[in-house]
């Protein structure tokens, strides 16, 4: 059985995951309009992934005797200026999500809810991978600079970048 404090914190994380999905969906729309089909595909895929993270939390809360709630979401921004700025925002957002997951883990320890602590370890590992992926993409973007040919190649290849390659590029597993 979930404590009320932990149920509230998990419901907050459900909202964060839902908003993350919306952020990436907005990034996908912006990239598609800019003619960056590869980047758009990458963002659409990540939007779906964030929604799955949300649903996993929803099911967990309900299965543990809590009540998962669907809340109002903040609208994401629509314009990202440049694809470099957009990927920096993606990286910053992943850091924010990691901090939120870490706070949740802290609450599980305070509440002595080791089942939820164990459940959240998947999210901890997932965030390590997400941050590594975002960092790898940012590194590639910084190599490109303002080179249009490099942007073309990056856009073509970005969908091939996956979490496993990002983790191995940074020496993390």
Specify the long-range contacts of residues 142-149, CB closer than 8 Å, at least 24 apart: 142/84
Task: Label residue 169 by pLDDT band (50, 70, 90).
Answer: very low
- Cβ-count burial 148-161 (b if 16+ within 10 Å, e if not): eeebeebbeebeeb
Does residue 112 have a pLDDT over 80? yes
* Structure confidence by residue, pLDDT tens digits, 69-84: 999 999 999 999 988 8
- Where on the phi/psi map is residue 68: left (φ > 0), alpha (ψ -120 to 50), or beta? beta
Residue with tokens 């003619």: 35
The predicted structure's pLDDT at residue 167: 43
State what percent of residues in the chain have pLDDT above 70: 93
pTM of the model: 0.89
> Does the annotation list 72 as a binding residue?
no
Does residue 166 have a pLDDT over 80? no
> Does the annotation list 111 as a binding residue?
no
> Does the annotation list 53 as a binding residue?
yes
Task: For the chain, list the domains and their CATH numbers.
Answer: 4-71+79-169 (1.20.1260.10)
Token reading at 107 = 């609450």
Give dist(CA 81, CA 112) in Å, integer. Answer: 45
* Structure confidence by residue, pLDDT tens digits, 82-104: 888 999 999 999 999 999 999 99
Average pLDDT over the chain, rounded to an integer: 91
DSSP of 77-100: PS--SSHHHHHHHHHHHHHHHHHH
Residue with tokens 């901090």: 99
> Does the annotation list 127 as a binding residue?
yes
Mean pLDDT over 13-28 rounds to 98
Greatest mean pLDDT among 8-12, 142-146, 150-154: 8-12
Task: Label residue 22 by pLDDT band (50, 70, 90).
Answer: very high
> Does the annotation list 37 as a binding residue?
no
Mean pLDDT over 127-141 rounds to 92
Give dist(CA 9, CA 152) in Å, integer. Answer: 42
Closest C-alpha among 96, 13, 101 to residue 58: 13
Does residue 168 have a pLDDT over 60? no
The predicted structure's pLDDT at residue 146: 79
- First-last CA distance in the chain: 33
């Amino acid at each position: 059985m979930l404590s009320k404090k932990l149920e509230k914190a998990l419901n907050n994380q459900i909202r964060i995951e839902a908003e993350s999905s919306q952020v990436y969906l907005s990034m996908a729309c912006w990239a598609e309009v800019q003619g960056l089909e590869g980047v758009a595909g990458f963002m659409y895929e990540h939007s779906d992934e964030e929604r799955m993270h949300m649903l996993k939390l929803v099911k967990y809360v309900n299965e543990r005797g809590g009540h998962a709630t669907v809340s109002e979401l903040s609208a994401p921004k629509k314009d990202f200026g440049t694809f470099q700025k957009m990927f920096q925002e993606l990286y910053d957002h992943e850091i924010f999500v990691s901090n939120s997951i870490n706070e949740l883990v802290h609450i599980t320890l305070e509440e002595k809810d080791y089942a939820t602590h164990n459940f959240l370890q998947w999210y901890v590992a997932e965030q390590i991978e997400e941050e590594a992926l975002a960092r790898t993409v940012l590194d590639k973007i910084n190599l490109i600079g303002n080179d249009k040919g490099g942007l073309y190649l990056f856009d073509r290849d970005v969908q091939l970048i996956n979490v496993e390659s990002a983790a191995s590029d940074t020496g993390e597993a």
